[in-house]
Structure 1
Amino acid sequence: MATTINGYNSGLDIQTIVSSLVAAEKAPKEAQLSRLESATTAKITGIGQLKSAIADLQSVLKDLNKPELFEKWSATSSDSKLVSASASKDALAGSYKIEVSRLATSSKVATAAVSGGGEHSFASGGSLVISMGDEALPAIEVAAGATLKEIRDAINAQLKEQGVSANIVTDPKTNTSQLVLTSSKTGAGNDLTIQAFDADGNPGGDLAALDIPTYDAGNPAAGVSYISMAADAEFSIDGLALKSATNNVAGAIEGVTLNLVATTEAGKPVTLTVDRDKAGVTSTIKKFVDAYNKLMNTAATLTAVASVGEDKAPVTAALVGDASVRNLLTTARNELVKVSGDESDGIRILADLGITTQKDGTLKIDDSKLDRALNENFNSLTSFFTGDNGLMSRLDAKLDPYTKTDGVLEQRLSGLNKTISSVDDQREVLARRMQQLQARLLAQFNAMDALVGQLNQTSSRLAQSLASLPGLIKSDS
């Protein structure tokens, strides 16, 4: 179809007029779709926040629903820089005075010095047998001509798993070196020794320069240095003298492992207190309260209505009036106030632990009452919190329908996402309709403009015809 130049005949700005008409037609529907999209997006975000808060609470519920949490024991030291400890579930409550007079030590020895530093070579070679007390470790084979450095490297490579390491210390002035061996095994009777054998397996040979015999206080080996002797730890518990081959002492107190870190001053023992791990339980209970309060505050924020003035409509949050949120809060609050067990259990409701509900629905902890309840009724906690009938399982069962696959919130999200898709579809339909409207209006205005052109031409011809008639007198006025 032929078109005219924009308003050539009529003088009208047809493009602008048509664009304005199309925009006016489009605006109400576009505004409606934008409002719907904005509200739906806000609801999706709000439900996501709610779902996250529920999931955080459920995670804490699972932690507080573990019986082993209430079976843990703690061992608290008055000075962990001297003595620290840990306790297993087999421990018993008690307080102990611990003094450490000596720590367990390992063996560290050095061979007699050899000339030539680390490059000193042993022409005939042979083997070295390093022993840790009465235990002979795998022999180190030494090739003919091997250097002291090569022997060191062979020891480090082959005896690493046995806890033996080697190094070389050299006197810069004399360029003489000593092979130094260190053991990681503490305890009396675990001193290191070295015995050399020649290539034929006989004791001696040029490797005998590295021999380290058992320490003899009356007749120490010439040139050999016994830097540190392996010794037992010596300590006392409540005045009872004890020894241990290691500084990590298990079995001295049933269910308790001691870690002797440093010696104590005479007459100033470390106090070790073994008790139920009340601090761990208290921490987990507080995490539960925090997670529950987070859920309550999130729900309150998402359903809030704020007044902004007498002449203005109130500002409403994304999930105002949402039945899912209302049902969730009611269910959770009802579960918290249910009584568990009987009067003999000591703890039947959260209030017995000093946990009460405030006006805004959040929980508040009375720390002193919680501490008193844990001290007096600790054994009641397991049945109150854990098991199929425990508070944590019951509350989790009420929350699960909202967060599980195909649960309440997931179905809500699915419906809202469909709404967003519907908005996109409606926008596409609107765009096509506006294109059609624009094309129709342009055709109509162009047709009008062409008609105006035709009428102008007709008028011009008529005027010319009239002007050429005989006797026609033109008026100048």
Structure 2
Amino acid sequence: MAISSAGIGTGLDVASIISKLVAVESQPITLLNTRQQAYKDQLSAYGRILSAASSLQTAAGKLDSTADFQGYTATVADTDYASATASSYAAAGSYALRVEQLAQANKLLSTADPAVAAGTLTIELGDISSGSFVAKSGTSPVAINFTGSTLEELRSAINSASAGVSATIVNGSGGKQLVLTSSVTGAENTIRLTGATGLSGFTYDPITPSAAFTEKAAAQDAEAYIDGVLVTSSTNTLAEAMTGVSITLKKVHDPLIPAEATTLAIGSDTAGMTTRAKDFVKSWNDLNTLFKSLTKYDPTASKASTLSGDRTVSGMEAQLRSVLFSSPGSASATYPRLSDLGITLETDGSLKLDETKFGTALSSNLTDATATMTAFGAAFKTLADNLVGTDGAITSKTTSLNSTIKSMDTRREVLQRQVDAIEKRYRAQFTALDAMMGRMQTQSSYLSQQLSRLG
């Protein structure tokens, strides 16, 4: 709106008068802004509640299945020799583990400065444990048509051939030597070479080795004994030696002490179960702390928090406590309530986990403890799903708040147009008054001059 210079004719501070009048007319907008900010604060608070409730949903979701409490841990007594992991498919037990040999790749070292010229080099991988070369299943000989003349060029050609063999050059005191290594470990990765024309000097048969190459490391499988039963693997990880258990071999036991072995123990993962219970307790406590912070009232300062008296929050708190004090039908008779497992409600509404009591329950009666934890986990997961879901209490509340805030934006626009119209009318009225007073002052001055002449 253009600003006029009201008040020139009257000498009054018309701009200030109009500003104050407009301020009075704008009070409904000021009150609306204050109310809207309160709703925005509530919307922000519900955003924090949604985040905390989602964390509770996640934590409860890790307790709602029997599989969550059927985890196992695998422990190797001497980790110098091996390490192990276990899944829910494992079975508890103790086993003697002896590492007989580690898996390794085949490695060949050529003579120094071998003659290199254009020719063909065929590379094959296979197993010679039967006394003859048996090609590796799923592979075919790879023929390299070489047109170079240096050992470096041959190295590059081998590395580009994708033959399952890598090549490098060692610059020894006696000259350059080609080192060939199978890309993966295991007995079926023994290298056989057939050279022709300018590469005939690179022919190597592992059954009847020639002087062209020296075997620096034989291709071999890993071997270990579990309770006296021999198990093998092309790698140093025994992934299928025991159901649900993966063993990684690291070091060979002394071959001169046949009885030497370490212990592999498989047991229930009580630590993991306790961690999941602790995560649930923490998520409950975080939500409880947030509820208290958002709804508290300070009588001394007569100051209420953002959601003081909010019935949606009090309703959610009531639902959570209702589940906590319930006894789900699938809970065990041995531990019908969470408190029987060591999870208790404190006077401030928080939960406390007695890890000793919880661990004792898991150790003494895992089946019944699992039944109760999964029953409550499922109940809290269902409640949390309802709270944070698209039709849940939190979403419904935030939708309502957003709608209210939006309607206030519309109402503000209407009120602002009314105030602008009133301000425009005031300016027109005061401008007209100012002009009229100016004319009257001019007439007064004229009459005064005329009267003074008569005298």
Q: Specify the TM-score bucket, using the shorter chain as the normaliser.
A: 0.7 to 0.9
Give 1:258 deviation, angstroms.
Answer: 1.6
Contact kept? 1:96, 1:237, Cα under 8 Å:
yes
Residues 63 and 276, structure 2, Cα contact 8 Å, conserved in 1:
yes
Residue 419 of structure 1 aligns with which residue?
404
Residues 215 and 226 in structure 1, CA contact (< 8 A), matched pair in contact too: no
Q: 1:350 aligns with which of 338, 343, 352?
A: 338
Specify the SS of the correspondent of 2:378. helix
1:243-296 CA-to-partner distances (Å, cap 9, x unmatched) read: 634422255445423211123576874332201222222222211111111111
Going from structure 1 to structure 2, the CA distance change for 1:139 and 1:436 (only over 3 Å counts) comes to closer
Partner of residue 138 from structure 1, selected from 124, 140, 148: 140
> Contact 2:335 / 2:372 at 8 angstroms: preserved in 1?
yes
Residues 111-260 of structure 1 mapped to structure 2, 5 A cutoff: 111-115=110-114, 120-122=116-118, 125-133=119-127, 134-136=133-135, 138-143=140-145, 145-147=147-149, 148-160=151-163, 163-171=164-172, 175-182=175-182, 184-187=184-187, 191-196=190-195, 198=196, 207-214=199-206, 221-222=210-211, 224-237=213-226, 240=228, 242=230, 244-246=232-234, 247-250=236-239, 252-260=241-249
The letter of the residue matching 2:360 is R
Q: Is the radius of gyration larger for structure 1 or structure 2?
A: 1
Report which stretch shifted further, 272-281 or 98-107: 98-107
Amino acid at match of 1:128: T
TM-score (norm 1): 0.81
Query: Would the alpha carbon gap of residues 341 and 15 (structure 1) be closer, same or farther in structure 2, given more than 3 Å must change?
Result: closer
Corresponding position of 1:283? 275
- Other-structure match for 1:436: 421
Report the counterpart of residue 402 of structure 1 in structure 2: 387
Q: Distance in 1 between matches of 2:332 and 2:17?
A: 86
Which moved further from structure 2: 351-360 or 448-457? 448-457
1: distance between equivalents of 2:382 and 2:249? Answer: 47
Decide whether the 8 Å contact of 1:111 with 1:211 is kept in 2: no
Alignment pair present for 1:306 and 2:278: no
C-alpha displacement of 1:46? 0.8
Q: Give me the identity figure in percent.
A: 31
In structure 2, what is the Cα distance between the partners aligned to 1:467 and 1:252?
Answer: 128
Residues 443 and 156 from structure 1, CA distance in 2 versus in 1: closer, same or farther, beyond 3 angstroms?
closer
- The range that moved more, 93-102 or 68-77, is 93-102
Corresponding residue pairs, total: 440
Instruction: Give the partner amino acid of 2:124.
Output: I
For residue 149 of structure 1, report the CA deviation from its aligned partner: 4.5
Q: Could you tell me whether the CA contact under 8 Å between 2:204 and 2:212 is conserved in 1?
A: no
Alpha-carbon distance, 1:110 to partner: 2.3
Moved more, 355-364 or 342-351: 342-351
CA distance, structure 2, for counterparts of residue 426 and residue 447 of structure 1: 32
Shift in CA distance, 45/107, structure 1 to aligned 2, threshold 3 Å: same
Q: Do residues 337 (structure 1) and 325 (structure 2) align? A: yes
Q: 1:38 to 1:250 in 2, by over 3 A?
A: closer
What SS does the corresponding residue of 2:185 show, helix, strand or coil?
A: strand
Deviation of 1:128 (Å): 2.8
Paired letter, 2:117: S
SS at match of 2:184: strand
Over 3 Å counting, the alpha-carbon distance change for 1:298 and 1:462 in structure 2 is: same
Shift of 1:42: 0.5
How far the C-alpha of 1:5 sits from its partner, in A, is: 6.1
Letter in 2 for 1:22: V
The 3-state SS of whatever aligns with 2:62 is helix
Does the 8 Å contact 1:303/1:316 carry over to 2? yes
Partner of 1:58: 57
Comparing 453-462 and 298-307, the one that deviates more? 453-462
Q: 1: CA distance between counterparts of 2:87 and 2:8?
A: 97
Equivalent of 1:263 in 243, 252, 256: 252
Distance 2:446 2:239 in 1: 123
Unmatched runs of 5 consecutive residues or more in structure 2: 128-132
In 2: Cα distance, 1:107 partner to 1:36 partner: 78
Secondary structure of the structure 2 residue equivalent to 1:185: coil
* C-alpha distance in structure 2 between counterparts of 1:64 and 1:4, whole Å: 72
Contact between 1:61 and 1:396, CA under 8 Å: does it hold in 2? yes
Matched-pair contact (CA < 8 Å) for 2:202–2:212: no
Residue 447 of structure 1: which of 418, 432, 440 is its match? 432
Determine helix, strand or coil for the equivalent of 2:215.
strand
Indicate how the Cα distance of structure 1 residues 439 and 140 shifts in structure 2: closer, same or farther if over 3 A, else same. closer
Structure 2 counterparts to residues 60-79 of structure 1, below 5 A: 60-79=59-78
Q: Which residue of 1 aligns with 2:130?
A: none
Question: Which amino acid in 1 is paired with 2:182?
Answer: T
Residues 8-17 or 460-469, more deviating: 460-469
Post-superposition offset of 1:223: 5.1
Q: RMSD over aligned Cα, in angstroms?
A: 3.1
Change (3 A) 1:55 1:467: same
Residue equivalent to 2:93: 94
Instruction: Pick closer, same or farther for the CA change 1:421–1:212 going to 2, 3 Å.
Output: same
For residues 109-129 of structure 1, what are the alpha-carbon distances to aligned partners after superposition, in whole Å with 9 as ceiling and x for unaligned?
22334446xxx214xx34535
**1:294 maps to what in 2?**
286
Secondary structure in 2 matching 1:106: coil
* SS of residue matched to 1:262: coil
Q: Distance in 1 between matches of 2:422 and 2:21?
A: 9
Residue type at the aligned position of 1:346: T
Once residues 402 and 382 of structure 1 are traced to their aligned partners in structure 2, the CA distance between those partners, rounded to angstroms, is 25
For the structure 1 residues 128 and 112, does the alpha-carbon distance in structure 2 shift closer, same or farther, using more than 3 Å as the test?
farther
Gaps of 5+ in 1: 199-204, 473-477
Q: How does 1:350-389 map to 2 (within 5 A)?
A: 350-386=338-374
